[in-house]
Structures are given as structure tokens and as C-alpha cells.
Amino acid sequence: MAIIWNQNDRTLTLQTDGSTYQMKIDNHNVLLHTYYGKRTELFDYSYLIDHRDRGFAGNPYDAERDKTYTLDTLPQEYPCFGSGDFRNSALKLRYGSGASALELRYLKHEILPGKYRIPGLPSMFADEDEANTLIVTMKGDAAELLVHLYYGVIPGADIITRAVVLENCSSEAIYLEKAMSVSLDFQYGSYDLVTFYGRHCMERNVCREKLRHGIQSVGSTRGASSHQQNPFVILAEPGTSEERGGCYGLSFLYSGDFKSEAEWDQINQTRIVMGIHPANFRWKLEPGEQFHTPEAALSYSGEGFRKLSWNYHDAIRNHLCRGPYRDKRAPILINNWEGTYFDFTGEKLFEMAKEAAELGIEMFVLDDGWFGVRNSETGGLGDWYANEKKLGCTIGELAARIHGLGMKFGLWFEPECVSEDSDLYRAHPDWAFTVPGRKPMRGRYQLVLDFGRDEVREHIFRQMCAVLDQSKADYIKWDFNRSVSDVYSASLTADRQGEATHRYVLGLYDLLERLLARYPDLLIEGCCGGGGRFDAGMLHYAPQIWCSDNTDAINRMSIQYGTSFCYPVSTMGAHVSACPNHQTGRVVPFATRGAVAMAGTFGYELDITKMTAEEKEEVREQVARFKKYCDVIRNGRYYRLTAPGEKSFHAWEMAKADGSEALVTVVSTMLEGNPLGCYLKLCGLIPEKIYEVAGRRYPGAALMNCGVILPTAQYEYQSWQFHIQAVD
Ligand code: GLA
């Protein structure tokens, strides 16, 4: 049993293979958080709590004259606003009276087999015997409110998930103004906060900052999880490295507005909360209603960032992604976007597909511009029927020709957006978010549909089904190319407008779920101007996500590096594109572009008909290589051997967990006269075993302890892939 209730000391202890998490119900029925960290024997960790009169720290009424008992310093599981804990809170309500002070006290708990699920929201799943669920029910003091704290414990994955259900048992409406999914308190020490910031075409750069006194926060109010900050953060002990040190990950399974706030308080305690961003959130909870927060997945590693990443990689692959491509390699694809942009005919597409098929590429993806009247960014979104004039045939005919090549066929959609120049917008202008009386902000010339409305989703669903039925498409690229603003839903009353952005995300998930239910074999690739919605929520529906609109292999190395802290290689959409690169103008050798894209789902995005015979041979060779090594690439453990910019080369490795095989990729990033020798230590091998590398044999111990000397680069961005095979 992964969840242990000790009636004597009233502790609830959650055990995973590598971590222990504990809470305790104290004499006042406050639910304390007593420990999270390395796995330990069962013990009551409340002895660590430092009870003192801190001054200006109020005392709950039932503490009577005890000035040392204060919510302002006690570590708690789910702190509330307004009743004496002046740190950041996880929950803030407003009752009908206008008041908002709230204290929660323990009422009961329940331990269940299996892992809970959340209706309408993504959540991790597990077999009955792989996980346990704990539900702790807390009762509000100022109103008849029940707060059910959900914990999902997946011991083998070293994952503890959290979510909250708020239930209004009173006779009047309660407004939720902040309802975070998780709060974690640490009683002492100092931590670094690691976050992943970026911008369109330059996502998920790693930022590591020591927490200072006060609150440091990251988040998004863009309606999507965003290019700018990722809903994954790490709290790390100072000095934590790839291989050493304690660190805690918080991954939010949500694709909309989010916030994560880390606070280092007056007595050097740390609190971190994560959940829906409160800025654009106000949920009216009517009597008898429940509100479900999204889920957050926590993991602890006592062995540095690498192990933390593996915990998430495995959990995402085994407990979050679904569908046929959860366990098998996705088809190697060619996408026409950077090859043709909007300028194509059906014949041209077929020619591209034909040449790609001959080289072993397995799927043709028709990107933007095949529908409505869409020859530029300015029109057509919302009209999801083929532009037969442009294609010269129906979408069914084109798809049949491509399927006839033995290839799979995929289509681009941007279901959530609408162009003003579209039949859909002309018929239903009120379906787009627009604040009455003001002209909305346009983003890439387009508006955002109010996906919280059933009739809007139903219309898009029907259109998509008609195209999917006709084309028998195997894949869709689900894009979303702007930030959400001017949020106002014509279907909600004034007191419910604060629900519109969350209802939008629920609508998005609903439509994705309906499509997957109807087309269980469909592969969805998420996209949001590249990696603007690369989050664990989306991965529940789309097991791969286009990592960035930046296909420059050198920039991609750092984007994929940052992405790898939480997300596995199997989720990272990565393509070889033409040079000079369309985003940066850089020229990178074809082999290096291939090697970098192989650290992802692997595919091509260029006009293959314009390539020389020699280049096509390279494609054939790369495709064959990716197929040959896909097992170690996809299922191997991922090692970040260097950080971008740290050395004159960048390197990463995938190694089978049993140490039998590895693939190391090295890209030279700096040329120098009279170059110094470059040495690289490998990882994940068995010291006693003998390995063959490029025709030579080495003991695993030599490769790991002393490393290899890298060849000297002869030209800019030269790369090498070394396959390492145990032979003895
Ligand atoms: C976004 C995507 C691109 C491409 C274009 C099409 O920018 O990220 O890959 O699909 O839209 O308009």
C-alpha cells in the first residue's frame, strides 16, 4: 500500500519508490504538511515543526492563549486566504456576503485503489494495482464548503499527483477567486527555482534563480500555457546538478492560463503553489455544485535533474499519453509548410509525397492553406472544407492518391480560431470572443472562437469529421496561432464572465476527447505557433507537439534541451528543414539537421522535389538510420551531456536502461585555430562490459570514467553520431 494512515499520530504518509510525502492532522484538525523528499521509513515528521511566538502572527480562536500556534508559520497542505496565514495562499473565495476569510479543518479521509481521474480534464492514469488515491476532505469554517484534496500516488513512477474538488454545500453562491491545484511547504533551507522561459521561435530556455525573500512567480494569461513560460518548474537544493542533489518538479496538466509562485518567507520557509492563473478567473459555484481544479504532477529526485527528468519522461509516456503511438514510434513525416507555404496545388503536393515515399518517409502532412479561401494568413480560418479549386480535386481524392503511395496522410487544422474573412464569421460573428462595445485585438489577423460554447464546438466538430471521414486522415496537426484576449462570452451572464477562459480550455479538451473517441487511431500533433502550448495537459490528447516554429538546428538544440527537463523525446516534434534556415538564415550541414531532428519525432519540412540526388540519398540514409535506432532513441534514457554554450560542442545521449546500447550525438558549435582536444564522458553503460564504438572496443568503465576524444571538426556545425553497442 502506497498510502499509510497511522491512527495514533494521525499521519498520512504517501510512499513512492524513491520519495516519501507526509501530512498530519494536528490537535486543531489543521492539515499540516510534514515532509516531502527522499524515501524514508515511517515516522512522524511533525517533530521538525518549530513552534514559537513570531510576533504579528495571529492565533486561531481555538488555540486560545497559545501564542506559538499560528497558521502564519505552520506548514500546511492547502493554505487559505484571509484567516491569519499571510503567506501566499492556494485558495481564495468570496461568499455572498462579500467576505473572504476562510479556514479549513480536517473532516475525513478515504484511501482508494487505483488513480482518480478528473471529469473533463487531463489526468495521469494507472492500473488499479499500480496506484492509490487519497482523498482528504476539509471543511470550511465560515461557510458550508467542502474541499476535497486528491492525491494520486504512482509509486513505480515516483509521481504524486494533486488536484482539488471544491463543493458548495451552503445555500448561496460562492465565488472562487483563486483555486490552485497544489501547495507545497518546506520548513527550512533555501532553494533555487528553475523555470523555462522563452518567446515564439525560442522556447524553453532554462532560468535558474536562487529564491529571495518575497515571491517569485511565472505564469501565463495568454489563454494558452505559452511560449513565454512553461507550466513546469523545479525547486532545487543549491548545488543540484544533473547527477546530484535534491530537486522537486511540479508539472501542471493544463493548457491555459497558469501561475506558479514560490515564496521564501520571513523565517526562511519556502512555499510553492501552482494552478490556474487567478488574474482572469472567477468561478461562481452555486449551491450543490462542485469545481474540479486541473491536476499537478509532483516528483522528487534525490539524484539531480537527470533522474527528475526520467521520472517525468516515464510518467508522461506510461501514465499520460494515450493512443496507438503511446508505445510505438510515430510515422516519419514530411510536412509541406516550409516547402511551399500557401503556394501549392494538389499535383505539387502529390509530387512531394511521391518523392518522399521513395526515400522511406511514411506520412505526408498537408499544412495550412488547403481549406476555405486561404492563400495567406488573412482569411479562411473556420471554413474547414477543402479548397477544391486550389487542390484540383477533392480532399478525398488527394488523400487516396497519397495513401496509394503506401503513405499515411495528415492535415493541419486550427479549430479554435476564425478569420473575419470566412463564411463562419460572417454567419456567427458572436462566436468569437469580443467585448461588447470594443473592437477586439487581432492576432495574426484572426479572432478566437468561444470554445466554452457547445454550439461552437459542435459546428467545428462536424466540419472536422466530414473532412476526416472523406480523407481517412491518419493524423492532424492541431494549431493555435495567437494569444487569447478580449475574453467575453456572449453565453455567460455578467457574474460568470470570469469563467470564460477556463470554460474555453474545458471546451478544447472536450473537442479533442470527442475526436479521439470517434477516431481512436488518429495521431494528433499539438502546435501553437510551434511550442506555445507544450504542456502535460495537451500531451494527454496529442502525444507529440511541434516543439518550435524555429527549425534552425543550432537553436533547436537549446530548445530541445530545455524541453527535455520535463518532456520525453517521443513528444518533441522535430523536422529537418532547408538552408539557409527560414527563421535564422543560418546554414547548417544536412547531416547535423538530421541528427538534431532525430532527438525528436523526426521528419522533414522542405520541398523535397527541389533537392539534389545527393541530398535525397542523405534523406534515405537518415530515414534508415532513424528507423534502425528508434528503439534506443525513443525508449532509452536521455542524458544531457552538455548544456548549450557550455563547451565548444553540444552533446546528448540516449542509453537503454540495461546498459546494452546507447546513441551519442555531438554537434560542434565553435571552431578555433589550433583546437584543444575535446573529451566527452559517456553515461548509462555497465563498467565491466565491453562496448564497440566506431569499430573499436572499449570497457564501459573507460567510456564513462575517462570518456572518448572527439574528432576535430573540419567545418562549422559538423556533427557525429556514435552508436555504442555492448559486445561482451
Ligand atoms: C504555425 C505553425 C507552423 C505552420 C503555420 C501555418 O505557425 O506552428 O508550423 O503550421 O502555423 O500557418
Examine the pLDDT at 531 and tell me if it is beyond 70. Answer: yes
For the segment 92-121, the average pLDDT, to the nearest whole number, is 96
Do residues 100 and 92 touch, judged by C-beta distance below 8 A?
A: yes
Examine the pLDDT at 142 and tell me if it is beyond 80. Answer: no
Examine the pLDDT at 143 and tell me if it is beyond 80. Answer: no
pLDDT tens figures, 554-599? 999 999 999 999 999 999 999 999 999 999 999 999 999 999 999 9
Amino acid at site 551: T
- Residue 615, CB half-sphere, CA atoms under 13 Å: how many? 19
**Ligand 1 atom nearest residue 530's Cα:** 8
The whole-number pLDDT of residue 196 equals 98
The whole-number pLDDT of residue 161 equals 98
Do residues 385 and 379 touch, judged by C-beta distance below 8 A?
A: no
Please give the mean pLDDT across all residues of the chain. 97
Three-state DSSP class for residue 44? coil
The whole-number pLDDT of residue 491 equals 96
**What interhelical angle do 395-404 and 346-358 show, nearest 10?**
20
pLDDT tens figures, 272-303? 999 999 999 999 999 999 999 999 999 999 99
Helices then strands, each counted (H, E), the chain: 13, 39
Of 351, 430, 615, 621, the catalytic one is: 615
From 73, 134, 77, 138, select the one nearest 105 (Cα to Cα).
Answer: 138
The whole-number pLDDT of residue 728 equals 78
455 is catalytic: no
Q: Which three cell numbers stand for residue 657?
A: 536502461
Residue 423's pLDDT band (cuts 50, 70, 90): very high
β-bridge mates for residue 699, sequence order: 690
Compute the distance between CA of residue 722 and CA of residue 94 in angstroms, rounded to an integer: 60
Strands (E), 325-398: 333-335, 363-366
Domains of the chain: 3-319 (2.70.98.60), 324-633 (3.20.20.70), 649-726 (2.60.40.1180)
For the segment 420-429, the average pLDDT, to the nearest whole number, is 98
Ligand 1 centroid to Cα of residue 414, in Å, is 9
- Beta strand 603-605 with 333-335: parallel, antiparallel or unpaired? parallel
Ligand 1 centroid to Cα of residue 530, in Å, is 7
More confident residue, 582 or 728: 582
Ligand 1 centroid to Cα of residue 132, in Å, is 41
Three-state DSSP class for residue 561? helix
Q: Which residues line the pocket of ligand 1, CB cutoff 6 A?
A: 337, 367-368, 412, 479, 481, 527, 529-530, 546, 549
The whole-number pLDDT of residue 41 equals 94
For the segment 441-469, the average pLDDT, to the nearest whole number, is 98
For the segment 337-341, the average pLDDT, to the nearest whole number, is 98
Ligand 1 centroid to Cα of residue 320, in Å, is 25
pLDDT tens figures, 595-638? 999 999 999 999 999 999 999 999 999 999 999 999 999 999 99
β-bridge mates for residue 154, sequence order: 159
For the segment 88-96, the average pLDDT, to the nearest whole number, is 95
- Distances in Å between the Cα of 721 and the Cα atoms of 15, 393, 667, 711 are 40, 43, 9, 11
Three-state DSSP class for residue 240? coil
- Residue 676, CB half-sphere, CA atoms under 13 Å: how many? 7
The whole-number pLDDT of residue 355 equals 98
The whole-number pLDDT of residue 1 equals 79
615 is catalytic: yes
**Ligand 1 atom nearest residue 377's Cα:** 12
